[in-house]
Structure 1
Amino acid sequence: MRLFAALLPPPPAVDELSAVVERLRDLPGADRLRWTGRPGWHFTLAFMGEVDDALVPGLRERLAPAAHRTDAFPLRLHGGGRFGRRALWVGAAGGLDEMRRLAERADAAARRAGIPMDEHRRYVPHLTIARARDDAADLRPCVEALAPFEGTGWQADRLALVRSNLPVRGVPGERPRYEVADSWPLNAAG
């Protein structure tokens, strides 16, 4: 199964972001983007890819203490950016040091469970909201429009293990579907 560890924004934050995305869709060039949907909005902490079913119990066993050792922390959606010419994202503000530690712990838990992880890179908190259909798309108007965005804060208090079900090839409009396979509370002392 295809898995990743994530933080999921609460419904009020998703509602705020949805209103912002609706305005972005009216910008010039927005029709060249494939917009992600509300059910797919999350902050990936550690992407594991295809995981052998036999490794999942060990992964769950290691993610639980990773969550418990991390204090809950304040978070909010903030600004935005892009990765190259292809991905448009919304950033985060608040307890970013804690968020990075949780990402590192989730990555380490996956490695200890025997899951081969890609090379380690510095964690960049982001929530992908659109992907360009081609390199001709200009993401700059959307990035500029996102710059002043400041979402309402919330307490990040759960680590989720999410299963990603890829879309069926050849089905127009089909998108990945995400389901929470498990979750653990962060340390409430945060």
Structure 2
Amino acid sequence: MRLFAAVLPPAEAVEELYRAVAPVRALPGAVDLRWTARESWHYTLAFLGEVDEELLPELERRMERAAHRTDPFPLRVHGAGRFDGRALWAGAAGGLDTLRLLAERADAAARRSGVPMEEHRRYTAHLTLARSRVPVDLTPYTAALGGFEGLHWEAGELSLVRSRLPVDGVPGEQPRYEVVRAWPLGR
């Protein structure tokens, strides 16, 4: 099964961001982007890819340990950015050091469970809003959302999420995400 570890924003933060993104979706060229569904918005900590089900018990045990070793922390959706003209994202502010630490712990938990992980890279907290199959100038979108300051909330849970890819050839089809397990942060 295809998995990732994530922090999920609360419904109020998602709704607030949704209202901020609505006018951005009306900008010229926005119809050419593939906008992610608000139900799928999350901060990915570690992408695990395809995981053999026999690894799940050990993976879940280690993810639980990572969650318990990390205290809850303040977070909010903040600003916007882009990756190579192919992805538009909203950033984060607040306890970023703790968010990065949790990402490192989730990555280590997966590796120690036997999940073959990609090359480790510096963590960038982001919530993907839209993607493009070809590079495009995302500057107008990042400028429109650059000043966004979301409400403060407490990140208190680490989630292991299953990703079901969209069916090829179905217009508007989105990936579907399902929380497999979630653990409270702290003891």
| TM-score computed with the length of structure 1 as normaliser | 0.96
Identical counterparts, % of pairs = 65
Alignment of structure 1 residues 1-190 onto 2, 5 Å: 1-135=1-135, 137-187=136-186
> What is the CA–CA distance in structure 1 between the aligned matches of 2:65 and 2:51, rounded to whole Å?
20
> What is the CA–CA distance in structure 2 between the aligned matches of 1:171 and 1:35, rounded to whole Å?
15
> What is the CA–CA distance in structure 2 between the aligned matches of 1:172 and 1:26, rounded to whole Å?
19
CA shift at 1:11, angstroms?
Answer: 0.2
| TM-score computed with the length of structure 2 as normaliser | 0.98
Aligned partner of residue 130 in structure 2, secondary structure: strand
CA shift at 1:60, angstroms?
Answer: 0.1
Q: Is the 8 A contact 2:21 2:145 kept in 1?
A: no
- Deviation digits for residues 91-137 of structure 1, max 9, x if unmatched? 000000000000000000000000000011010000000002422x3
Q: Which runs of 5+ in 2 are unaligned?
A: none
> What is the CA–CA distance in structure 2 between the aligned matches of 1:95 and 1:158, rounded to whole Å?
14
Q: Is the 8 A contact 1:32 1:133 kept in 2?
A: no
Q: Is the 8 A contact 1:72 1:156 kept in 2?
A: yes
Aligned partner of residue 47 in structure 2, secondary structure: strand
> What is the CA–CA distance in structure 1 between the aligned matches of 2:68 and 2:122, rounded to whole Å?
22
Which of structure 1's runs of 4+ aligned residues deviate more than 6 A? none
What count of residue pairs does the alignment treat as equivalent?
187
Q: Which runs of 5+ in 1 are unaligned?
A: none
Aligned partner of residue 25 in structure 1, secondary structure: helix
Q: Is the 8 A contact 1:28 1:141 kept in 2?
A: no
Aligned partner of residue 26 in structure 2, secondary structure: coil
CA RMSD of aligned residues (A): 0.8
> What is the CA–CA distance in structure 1 between the aligned matches of 2:16 and 2:111, rounded to whole Å?
35
CA shift at 1:16, angstroms?
Answer: 0.5
